[in-house]
Amino acid sequence: MLLKSTSNRLSLSFVSSFGMDNNNREDISQISSGTSSLTLSSGSNSPTSSAPIALASATTIGRERRGSSASLHNASLLKLLNETKVSALFHQSLFNILFKSPVLVFKSDDTVQHVFEELADKEVLSAPVFDENKKEFVGMVDLRDFVALLLSIHLMGDSSISTAEKLTDFSGNNPFIPVHEDEAIVEVLREFNVRGVHRMPVLDKKDKTKVLCILSQSTIIDWLGKNLDKFGESYSALTLKDLNFGGLDKNNTLSQVIDVLEDDTLLHALSVIEKYNIHGVPVVERESGKLVGNISVRDLKYILEAYIQNLKAPISEFLSKYANKRPPLITCSSSTKFVDVIKLLTDNHVHRAHIVDEENRPVDIITLTNILDIVLALATGARRR
């Protein structure tokens, strides 16, 4: 069984250690709906909900998309997910290296500034927080928390969040849900699906205060990419359109995604990410609506590096300045095969692919969350939220 989870939900507040001033504040509650598309989408950037259709459905506000019921059941895929344990996802030599190299773990009294600097320096998106007095983990911190914190200073200017423990699970996206190395992957996928988490710490069975490694969505997707032959011919032929991505909804309306304009400010982009509880948002041209880029929580390192005093700089300036340092922008069409999307994401080490039309305008988006939900539905026939 999975271990008991720990979560610490806090109200919005922020530390002033990033050097923000009151003149740079902006009310994020007044995001213009003229900039961000607010209509139905089958992708993870949709703020509204819809009735289930085939293998995919719409989202609800505040959670990346969960799908609906699966009409297919892949017995061989289920067998693979049942028989494969967490430890098997890592090549034995790599697993040994991971065990010998300490996982990044923060102390509960570490400063927020230290936490961010360590995450940025080690290029890690998330890490557990340990209370040495209680001898237990009190939660997780990730870059999504820092988006909420950064924006809250514009809203309230509060400096009450100053330590790692207070920061744990600040955004409500990443509670501490540990797993053992001998847990079956199918159970991990169910936990991802139900909890809405993106990663789980793997704890030592004998010493629950020791984190062996962090099991992330990316780790599982990489493993799936090496086992695409297990999907079978009929499943390998499934396209994104077959799964209701990038197509028409039940009202024959073309799906749309939440987006921002290239001349919008960085602050606006982060506000959209926070408001709709997503991890990335496509950037489009104002006139043509064509896709020109993407802003995600992974960009926070660069945003705080060069734009902390100028969050009202245009997104286009940021995209140009860091073009060679950021991950590539991945696009596909609704006719792209599902297994090919998995390969695209693993080969390029990115968390989402933008589904575009013939004019390169975004019509949908598919994320690691979506992919794992689909795999679980295909394998078990279970209903996806």
Q: Where are the domains of the chain?
A: 37-73+232-290+317-380, 89-215
In three-state form (DSSP H/G/I as H, E/B as E, the rest C), the secondary structure along 223-284 is: HHHCCHHHHCHHHHCCECCCCCCCCECCCCCECCCCCEECCCEHHHHHHHHHHCCCCEEEEE
Residue 382: per-residue pLDDT: 67
pLDDT less than 70: residues of the chain: 1-73, 90-101, 155, 157-159, 169, 171-173, 247-256, 382-385
Residue 57: per-residue pLDDT: 32
User: Phi and psi for 235 in degrees, rounded to 5?
Assistant: -75, -30
Residue 102: per-residue pLDDT: 73
Residue 302: per-residue pLDDT: 92
Residue 305: per-residue pLDDT: 85
Identify the architecture of domain 37-73+232-290+317-380 in CATH: Roll (3.10)
Cα distance between residue 315 and residue 261, in whole Å: 8
The three-class DSSP label of residue 343 is helix
Residue 100: per-residue pLDDT: 52
Q: Tell me the one-letter amino acid at 207.
A: D
pLDDT tens, residue by residue, 256-277:
689 999 999 999 999 999 999 8
Residue 85: per-residue pLDDT: 93
Tell me if domain 37-73+232-290+317-380 and domain 89-215 are identical in fold: yes
Cα distance between residue 335 and residue 247, in whole Å: 9
Residue 36: per-residue pLDDT: 36
Identify the architecture of domain 89-215 in CATH: Roll (3.10)
Question: Greatest CA span in the chain, whole angstroms?
Answer: 59
Residue 18: per-residue pLDDT: 41
pLDDT tens, residue by residue, 133-165:
999 999 999 998 999 888 887 767 666 788 999
Cα distances (Å, whole numbers) of residue 358 to 196, 222, 280, 296: 33, 29, 22, 24
Residue 94: per-residue pLDDT: 52
CB count within 10 Å of CB 374 equals 23
Residue 307: per-residue pLDDT: 86
Cα distances (Å, whole numbers) of residue 357 to 99, 155, 335: 45, 37, 10
Nearest to 193 by CA among 362, 378, 9, 10: 378
Residue 73: per-residue pLDDT: 61
Cα distance between residue 118 and residue 224, in whole Å: 30
Q: Tell me the one-letter amino acid at 302.
A: Y
Residue 8: per-residue pLDDT: 30
The answer to whether 59 and 48 are in contact (CB under 8 A) is yes
